[in-house]
Every structure is written in C-alpha cells, then in structure tokens.
C-alpha cells in the first residue's frame, strides 16, 4: 500500500493557496497534518479502525473515527489498511557519543587521577556531544521516534537527555527536554594496565562514588553559606561536583547500568546510603530480585540482549521432535537408542545441563518475570542494532509469555512513564506530541514495513526512496 501522493500534493497546493489568501484571518498559522483511514493502536493495546489523526505544531489535536480533517491539513491517506503505532522510545542509547579514548597517557600518580581519568564526568550533557552516528537513521527507520541519550563512559558518564528522532543528524535543537537523569555504572577508571587509574575495581568505584557524594554535599553547603556571607572564603568552582547536586538533593534519578544480581544488590547499598531514585538499565538478572525492586519502587529499562538456548538443548529439542514424528512409524528400538545416548553422559553433566537449562530459562524470562511482578519495565536498545532487536523480539516472544504487543507497550508508554515524559509521549492521544509510526502490517511481524515515521510532528517518509 502506497500513500496517495497525488492527493497529498493537491491538498498541499490547495492549503498553500488558502494560507496565502487567508493569512490575516487564520488563528493557526502553521498548517495541520493528518493521517486518515488507519488502524490506530492505542496505549492500552486496543485498536481503533478507520481512524484519523490530526496534529499541528507537533501536537496531536484529534484522534478518532469521525474527526473532521482541517481544511489546511497535509493528509496522508492510510487507505483502511495501514497501521499507526505510537512512536517507539529507546530508554537509553549512546548514539553520537564520543568514543571512550584509547591510548591514554600514563598517569604520574594513578592514585590521584583527575575526575575524567577516574571515570567521573557527571557534568557532561549529551546535547554537547552529538556526533554523527548511523545508528540514529537506522533507529528512525525501525520506528523509533524518541531516544533518551546518554554517553559512553564509566562510573558517571554524564546526564541523560531525551531527543526527538526527527533527523538523522541530531543537533541541540532536537532536544525533547532538558536532561532528566544522571547515568551511572560500576565501570572502573578508563585505561589499560599501564594507563589506568583509581578506582580500578568495583569496590573502588563504590568508595570513590561515596567520596564524590560527600565532596558534593560539602561544596553545596559551602556555596549556600557563601550566598549570605560573602565575607567567608569563596567556594571552589567544580563542575563535576556541582553536577552531582541533583543526586545529593534527591531531585534526579540515577540511571544505573548493571546486570548481575550481586551487582544490583551492591547498587542497593549506595541507594540506601544516599536515598536517590534509581532506574536500573540493562539489568539482565533483575528478575531474581523482583520483590526487592518492587519494595524499592525501582523501574527497569531492560535489555533485550538475551542469548539463544545452549547448543546441546537446541539439539535435544530437535531430536525429540524428530523422534516424536517418527514414533508412529518406527519401532521402539529407535527411542531406546536415544535414551542410551543420553545415558552416556556422566551424572555430573546431566545435573549441570539441568542447571544450565534453568539458567537459560531464567535469563530469557527476565523481562516477562519483571512485567509479571508489576515492576515498571521499559526497554533500552543497549547497543543492539534494529536487526538484532527484531531477532531478540522473536526469541523472547517465542519462549516467554510476552507478546509482541507487550513489547511495544514497553517501548512506548512504559518507557515514557519511566522517563517521566508520559504527559507528552508514549501514546496516541490529543494533547500529546505527535510521535507516530505508520506501518503496512502489525509491528515486528515478518514482512511489516515502516512507511512513515513522525517525530515531534516532523514527517520522515521512508518509502520515498
């Protein structure tokens, strides 16, 4: 199904003329856009057929079956068969981030590194580091309309800031809002053995993090005192510590990338000490701590980077299937042979395999378990390309209770909730920003193509090529 471009052009021409003629009389000087006759997928998973969507100035004005189309609208006709979904949101990506520097010079005293050499750069803001990155266009083509960008780094790489994916080359003008969180991890100071620095271990990172928080508290207090007492010594200018004030004051969440159960537990220790809000990022073993996460009201931006089942298990399943097929026509001997083959494994290996199977099942079910436990769960691309994401979606929906529409929910409204921007994005409704995608079939199904991506009202038509 192609969009009726002739129609669009005629309407456009007409609209232009009308605008020119009636400019002094028009209250709204920016023309509207509309997508008509489409199947709209709502935030709650429900579907409305033959629906129209109208937006102006990047804001959705109308959604519904019988909505009239403003006379000045650029119209895309969905011809009753195209689907519209809310634009996908990537909870955290580092596209456009400068690479972590290699070949760092050896430090004279690795025990007292500068903040950046220790891995603490909370003062960095993504808007200042928007390098060209092919991942951005690829993500747009895959249906993403908004991303919260972080930076590549270590312990504290910088701020997290959402951007509209309305152009392949992002600039500060594409920022959806100001930064809304700080980014963190247990990654140690950058550098190789020769050029590394303190902290070089996870326990070191934890201690260094604490010290930063103490130093930031003291600086903030000094600044507050100085405001009313200019006769006291002047506080130092320290961008790094100042960037931590929102965390010290518990005004900002910390988006913390962590996977193993033990590391998540260590994260809890820091949270207990400083009381800030935490959002876990990646969190591949988070479901093992579901109850604790729920009690702490911690949300998760989960990675979809699950692994295929172990080779031996895949082989075993195939053999069982083949055996089942042959069963009706073959004798019992063949079945016995299979059992004999299995018996050749030592008892230890058999037990190991059972444990491994269980481990894989827990791993692939991480997301499903989090959702089932009622933990606010969203999605981060976590370095996966759109192709890889599609593969992982297939894997997760094949082996867990999650459906594709569950995953779409994580990538839209759930992510918007976690980022604290659900008053503007994540669902198709009046008053929200126009973040939409137009597809020719159910999203993530084989063969479905994304025709148009709309981010903050800006249309990118990928079928034009």
Partner 1 sequence: MKNIVNMLLFLVVFSVGSLAQEKGSVLIQNATLMTITDGIIENGDVLIVDGVITGIGTDLSAPIGVEVVNGTGKYVMPGIIDAHSHLNTVSTNEARNPVTAEVTMEESINPNSVSIYRAVAGGVTSIHLMHGSANVIGGQGETLKLRYGVSQDEMRFADAKRTIKFALGENPTRVHGQGNGIQPRTRMGVEQIIRSHFDEALDYRVRREAYLVAKEAYEGDRRGRRVPPVPVAKNLRYDVLNDIIDGEILVHCHSYRADEILMLMRVFNEYGIKNYTFQHANEAFKVAPEIAKNSAYTSVFADWWAYKFEVYYSTAYNATILNKNGVTNSINSDSNELIRHLNHEAAKTVRYGETSEADALKMITINPAIQLGIDKMVGSLEVGKHGDIAIWSGHPLSIYSKVQQTYIDGKKYFDMLTDPADMRIDVDSDDSYREAGFNTFIQGREEDACMSDVFQFIKQ
The reply on whether position 296 binds partner 1 by CB under 8 A is: no
Residue entry with tokens 């959002």: 279
Which tokens in the block code for residue 378?
Answer: 């969203």
In 2-143, the DSSP E strands lie at 32-41, 47-56, 59-64, 74-77, 83-86, 88-93
The reply on whether position 271 binds partner 1 by CB under 8 A is: no
By beta-carbon proximity to partner 1, the closer residue of 242 and 363 is 363
Contacts for 244 with CB less than 8 Å, ≥ 6 apart: 122, 156, 182, 212, 213, 216
Q: What is the enclosing helix (H) or strand (E) of 285? A: none
* Residue 343 half-sphere exposure toward CB, CA atoms < 13 A: 6
The reply on whether position 317 binds partner 1 by CB under 8 A is: no
CB of 149 to partner 1, least distance (A): 30
- DSSP annotation of 410: I
By beta-carbon proximity to partner 1, the closer residue of 196 and 386 is 196
By beta-carbon proximity to partner 1, the closer residue of 117 and 124 is 117
In the region spanning residues 398 to 457, those forming contacts with partner 1, defined by CB under 8 A, are: none
Select from 129-137, 144-152, 353-361, 407-415 the region that touches partner 1 (CB under 8 A): 353-361
Q: What mask, x for binding partner 1 by CB under 8 A, covers residues 144 to 173?
A: ------------------------------
Q: Which of 35, 88, 165, 206: binder of partner 1 (CB under 8 A)?
A: 206
Q: What mask, x for binding partner 1 by CB under 8 A, covers residues 76 to 115?
A: --------------------------------xxxxx---
Q: How far is CA 395 from CA 231, 298, 306, 321, 399, in A?
A: 65, 26, 8, 19, 6
Q: Which of 157, 196, 246, 386: binder of partner 1 (CB under 8 A)?
A: 196
By beta-carbon proximity to partner 1, the closer residue of 210 and 372 is 210
Q: Which of 70, 204, 420, 442: binder of partner 1 (CB under 8 A)?
A: 204
The reply on whether position 207 binds partner 1 by CB under 8 A is: yes
149 backbone dihedrals φ, ψ, rounded to 5°: -90, 135
CB 178 within 8 A of CB 172: no
The reply on whether position 233 binds partner 1 by CB under 8 A is: yes
Q: How far apart are CA 15 and CA 9, in angstroms?
A: 10
By beta-carbon proximity to partner 1, the closer residue of 23 and 233 is 233
With CB under 8 A, what is the number of residues at the site for partner 1? 57
Which is nearest to 81 in space by CA: 376, 444, 448? Answer: 448
Select from 95-103, 130-138, 190-198, 450-458 the region that touches partner 1 (CB under 8 A): 190-198
By beta-carbon proximity to partner 1, the closer residue of 189 and 370 is 189
Select from 146-154, 168-176, 198-206, 425-433 the region that touches partner 1 (CB under 8 A): 198-206
The reply on whether position 310 binds partner 1 by CB under 8 A is: yes
The reply on whether position 341 binds partner 1 by CB under 8 A is: no
CB of 284 to partner 1, least distance (A): 11
What 212-216 contacts at long range (C-beta under 8 Å, 24+ apart), as own/partner pairs, is 212/120, 212/156, 212/240, 212/241, 212/244, 213/244, 213/247, 213/248, 213/274, 215/241, 216/241, 216/242, 216/244, 216/245, 216/247, 216/248
CB 42 within 8 A of CB 48: yes
Which tokens in the block code for residue 232?
Answer: 């006291």
The reply on whether position 338 binds partner 1 by CB under 8 A is: no
Q: How far apart are CA 78 and CA 64, in angstroms?
A: 14
β-bridge mates for residue 459, sequence order? 454
Q: How far apart are CA 376 and CA 370, in angstroms?
A: 8
Binding positions for partner 1, rule: CB under 8 A: 108-112, 189, 193-194, 196-204, 206-207, 210-211, 214-215, 217-219, 221-222, 225, 229, 231-233, 261-262, 265-266, 269, 307, 309-310, 343, 346-356, 358-360, 363
């Amino acid at each position: 199904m192609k969009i009726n471009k002739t129609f669009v052009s005629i309407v456009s021409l007409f609209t232009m003329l009308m605008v020119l003629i009636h400019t002094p009389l028009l209250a709204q000087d920016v023309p509207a856009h509309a997508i008509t006759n489409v199947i709209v997928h709502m935030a709650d998973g429900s579907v409305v057929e033959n629906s129209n969507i109208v937006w102006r100035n990047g804001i959705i004005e109308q959604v519904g079956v019988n909505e009239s189309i403003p006379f000045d609208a650029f119209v895309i006709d969905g011809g009753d068969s195209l689907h519209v979904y809310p634009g996908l949101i990537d909870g955290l990506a580092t596209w456009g981030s400068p690479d972590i520097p290699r070949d760092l010079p050896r430090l004279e005293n690795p025990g007292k590194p500068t903040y950046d050499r220790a891995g603490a750069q909370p003062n960095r803001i993504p808007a200042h580091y928007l390098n060209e990155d092919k991942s951005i266009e690829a993500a747009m083509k895959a249906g993403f309309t908004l991303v919260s960008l972080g930076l590549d780094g270590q312990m504290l790489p910088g701020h997290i800031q959402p951007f509209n994916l309305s152009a392949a080359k992002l600039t500060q003008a594409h920022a959806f809002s100001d930064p809304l969180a700080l980014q963190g991890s247990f990654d140690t100071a950058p550098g190789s053995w020769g050029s590394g620095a303190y902290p070089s271990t996870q326990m070191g990172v934890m201690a260094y993090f604490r010290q930063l928080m103490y130093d930031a508290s003291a600086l903030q207090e000094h600044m507050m005192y100085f405001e009313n007492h200019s006769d006291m010594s002047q506080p130092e200018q320290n961008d790094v510590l100042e960037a931590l004030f929102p965390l010290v004051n518990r005004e900002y969440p910390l988006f913390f990338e962590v996977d193993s159960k033990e590391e998540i537990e260590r994260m809890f220790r820091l949270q207990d000490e400083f009381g800030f809000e935490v959002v876990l990022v990646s969190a591949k073993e988070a479901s093992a701590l579901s109850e604790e996460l729920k009690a702490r009201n911690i949300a998760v931006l989960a990675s979809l980077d699950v692994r295929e089942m172990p080779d031996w298990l895949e082989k075993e399943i195939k053999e069982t299937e083949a055996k089942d097929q042959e069963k009706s026509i073959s004798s019992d001997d063949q079945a016995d042979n299979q059992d004999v083959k299995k018996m050749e494994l030592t008892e230890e290996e058999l037990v190991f395999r059972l444990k491994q199977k269980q481990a894989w099942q827990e791993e692939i079910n991480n997301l499903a378990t989090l959702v089932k436990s009622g933990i606010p769960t969203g999605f981060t691309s976590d370095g996966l390309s759109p192709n890889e994401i599609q593969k992982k979606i297939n894997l997760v929906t094949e082996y867990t209770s999650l459906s594709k529409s569950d995953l779409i929910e994580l990538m839209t409204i759930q992510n918007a909730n976690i980022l604290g921007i659900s008053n503007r994005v994540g669902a198709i409704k009046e008053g929200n920003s126009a973040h939409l995608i137009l597809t020719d079939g159910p999203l993530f199904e084989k063969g479905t193509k994304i025709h148009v991506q709309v981010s903050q009202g800006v249309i990118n038509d990928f079928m034009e090529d």
